[in-house]
Amino acid sequence: MATFSIENFGCRATEADASEIRLQLAERGLVLLEDHARAEVVVLNTCTVTAAADSQAREAIRKIHRANPAARIIVTGCYAQRAPEELAALEGVEWVVGNSHRSAISRLACNLPSPLRESAADFVPLAELCDAPGSLARGPAKILTADIFAQTAVDFAAPDVATRASLDDRTRPILKIQDGCNNRCSYCVIPFVRGRSRSVAPDAVIKEVHRLAAAGAKEVVLSGINLGSYGRDLAPRATLAGIVRRMLDETSIDQIRFSSIEPQDVTEDFVSLAARSDRIAPHFHIPLQSGSDRILRAMRRWYRAEHYAERVLLIYRMLPHAAIGADVIAGFPGESPADFRATYEFIERLPFTYLHVFSFSARPGTAAEHLADAVRGAEIRERARALRLLARKKAEEFRSFQGGRSLRALTLNRRGNDWTEALTGNYLKLRIAGLHPANEWHQVRVTGDPETAIG
Ligand code: SF4
C-alpha cells in the first residue's frame, strides 16, 4: 500500500486545505504516516505571508529530502502559487502545484495521467498505480499552477474551496467556508495566491456540519481568508450571520468558533448573535495591523484606529469575558517611532487578550514592496519584541481576570503524566487534572496558575 505524509504551514485556511488534501489522498487508497522519513509521497502545504514563512518551507523541504531521498515531494499552497520556480529548483521536489490546481494533487501523487481532467470514467484503483514499478522514477520538478500576476486570467474556481473538514483531530475540525479576498492591502500577497473571494454554498456548509457533528465533532472552527465576506459572491447573496444562524437552528453541533474576521464585519448584530448563544465561542480575532491612522492609510486598510476601537469595545461591553485577539505588523515602511508608539498605546488601552505579531517583510508583487523609508531590520525586531512582551502581559491579565470562573472546556490531544490540555470557549488553554480522551467536555474552574485548572 502506498504511503504519504503531509506537513502544513500557515493559517487556519491552510490547515483546512491540508485536511482536504489528506482526505483526497486517503480516498485514493494512500495510507497516512506521521513520519516523513518513511513516507513514499510527502506533501508540503506552504505559506508565503512573510519571508520567514518562505524560508521555513525551503528548510523543511531540504530536511525531508535529506532524511528520505526516495520520497516524492509535492509542494503546494501559497508559496507554490507565488514562486513555483523557486521551489522547483530545490532538490527532491517532484511537483510544485499552485492553489489554483490543488485538486490535482491526489492524481499526481499516484502518477495518474491528465490530472486536470478527472472523471469517474478514468478513475483507476490507486493501490495498483502507486505500487507500480517505476512509480518512483523522477525527472526535473514539474510545475502545475496558474500565473498569479495575470490575475484576471486566473481561475481559482469553486472546486478549490475546501468544503470537507478532516476528522483526524476531531476535537476542532476547521471548516473553510470561504477562500480568496477582493481587498488589496498594500503589504499582502494573499489575494494574488488565492484569487477573488468565493464562498461555499450554504446548503453544502450545513451538510458538512451535519457530517462533522454526526462523526463526533463537538466544535467546528469556521475559517476563510476573509471570513466576514462570506456569501457576498453568491446568488442569492448569503451572509456569515445567516449561515451561523442556520447552523444553530439546523444542526446539533455543540460549539462554533470563528477564525479571523475583519473589523468592519464585527457589527453590533453579529456580536449580539454571539452574545445570545452559548453555542458560539466568545472569541473574536480581528486583524488590526497598526494603531496609527497614517500607517493604516499606507497599508490601504479601510478603517481608522478609532473605528477599530469601537468594535473591540462593543465586544467587551456585550461579552466582557470574550477572548479578543489581533494581528499586528511591526515596522511597516514609514512607521516612525511616533507611529509605533501610537500602535503600542492603542493596544495597551484596549482589552486584547492575545496578539499575533508579525515583523514586516516586503512581499514580491505587492504595493508595499517598493515603498521608500524602510524601517531598519534591528528596529523592526525591537518593535516586534516590545509588542510580544505587551501581548504576554495582556494574556496574563486576562488569565487572572478569568481566575475562579467555572468554564466548559474541550479536551485536546496534548497530555502529560497527569494532565490533559483543554480549551475553553474564550480561548484559554488549561491543563486539567487526570488523563482524558480528546474531544470531551469538562466543567473546569480556572486557577491563577497559568498552566492549570481544576477539573
Ligand atoms: S483583507 Fe487585506 S490582509 Fe486580509 S487577505 Fe485580504 S488583502 Fe490580505
d(Cα 3, Cα 39) in Å, to the nearest integer?
Answer: 5
| Atom of ligand 1 at shortest range from CA of 182 | 6
Find out whether 257 and 281 touch, Cβ atoms under 8 Å: yes
- What is the CA(300)–ligand 1 centre distance, in A? 10
Q: How far is the CA of 102 from the centre of ligand 1 (A)?
A: 21
Domain ranges (residues) in the chain: 3-145, 158-402, 406-454
The lowest-confidence range among 136-140, 378-382, 443-447 is 136-140
Which of 50, 78, 190, 295 has the most ligand 1 atoms within 8 A of CB, as the residue to mutate?
A: 190
d(CA 448, CA 446): 7
Kindly give the distance from the C-alpha atom of residue 180 to the centroid of ligand 1, in angstroms, as a whole number: 9
- 332 vs 195, higher pLDDT: 332
CA 117 to mean position of chain CA atoms: 29
pLDDT at 329 over 80: yes
Q: What pairs with residue 257 in β-bridges?
A: 221
Fold of 406-454: OB fold (Dihydrolipoamide Acetyltransferase, E2P) (2.40.50)
Amino acid at 273: L
Q: Report the candidate in 112, 31, 109, 50 with the shortest Cα–Cα distance to residue 75.
A: 109
Helix (H) or strand (E) run with residue 318 in it: helix 305-318
Least confident range from 42-56, 115-129, 308-322: namely 115-129
Q: Kindly tell me if the per-residue pLDDT of 340 is higher than 60.
A: yes
Task: Decide: helix, strand or coil at residue 234.
Answer: coil
Instruction: Return the H-helix or E-strand segment holding 390.
Output: helix 377-402
Torsion of CA 177, 180, 183, 186, to 10 degrees: 130
Closest CA to 65 of 95, 93, 96: 93
Rounded distance from Cα 360 to ligand 1 centre (Å): 14
Cα of 100 from ligand 1 centre, angstroms: 18
- Check residue 435 and give its pLDDT: 96
Pocket of ligand 1 (CB under 6 A): 181, 183-185, 188, 190-191, 225-226, 262
Per-residue cell: 106: 491526489
CB count within 10 Å of CB 313 equals 13
Q: What is the mean pLDDT of residues 387-407?
A: 96
Can you count the helices (H) and strands (E) in the chain?
A: 14, 19
The CATH architecture of the domain made up of 3-145 is 3-Layer(aba) Sandwich (3.40)
Of 247, 197, 244, nearest in space to 225 by CA? 197
Question: For residue 194, which atom of ligand 1 is closest to its CA?
Answer: 5
Q: Which strand (E) or helix (H) includes residue 349?
A: helix 337-349
| C-alpha cell read off for 208 | 458538512
Residues 6+ apart with CB under 8 A from 113: none
Q: Ligand 1 center to residue 330 CA distance, Å?
A: 16
Residue written as grid cell 465533532: 217
Nearest to 290 by CA among 310, 305, 312: 305
At residue 112 the predicted structure's pLDDT band, cuts being 50, 70 and 90, is low
- Residue owning the nearest CA to atom 8 of ligand 1: 188
pTM score, whole prediction? 0.86
Average pLDDT over residues 196-207: 93
C-alpha cell, 441: 467536555
For 395, residues 6+ apart whose C-beta sits below 8 A from its C-beta are 353, 354
Percent of the chain's residues with pLDDT above 90: 75
The dihedrals phi and psi of 281, each to the nearest 5 degrees, come to: -65, 130
- Which ligand 1 atom minimizes the distance to the CA of 184? 7
**Mean of the per-residue pLDDT values for the chain?**
88
Q: Which of 47, 49, 188 for mutating ligand 1's site (highest number of atoms within 8 Å of CB)?
A: 188
Query: How far does the centroid of ligand 1 lie from the alpha carbon of residue 80, in Å?
Result: 19
What share of the chain in percent tops pLDDT 70? 86
Q: Is 294 exposed, middle or buried (0-12, 13-18, 19+ CB in 10 A)?
A: middle
* Helices marked H in 171-304: 190-194, 202-214, 240-250, 268-276, 293-298
Tell me: the pLDDT tens digits for 40-88? Answer: 999 999 999 999 999 999 999 999 999 999 999 999 999 998 999 999 9
Ligand 1 pocket: which of 156, 181, 300 to mutate (most atoms <8 Å of CB)?
181
Residue 209 corresponds to which amino acid? V
Mean pLDDT on 385-405: 96
| 158-402 CATH fold | pyruvate-formate lyase- activating enzyme (3.80.30)
Mean pLDDT of 415-423: 94
Q: What angle do CA 361, 95, 8 make, to 5 degrees?
A: 50
Residues in the chain: 455
CA distance 248 to 419: 32
Joined together, the cell numbers standing for residue 9 give 504551514
pLDDT digits (tens, 9 = 90+) for 148-187: 544 433 444 444 455 566 666 557 899 999 999 999 999 9
d(CA 364, CA 276): 44
> Could you tell me the distance, in angstroms and rounded to a whole number, from the CA of residue 373 to the centre of ligand 1?
22
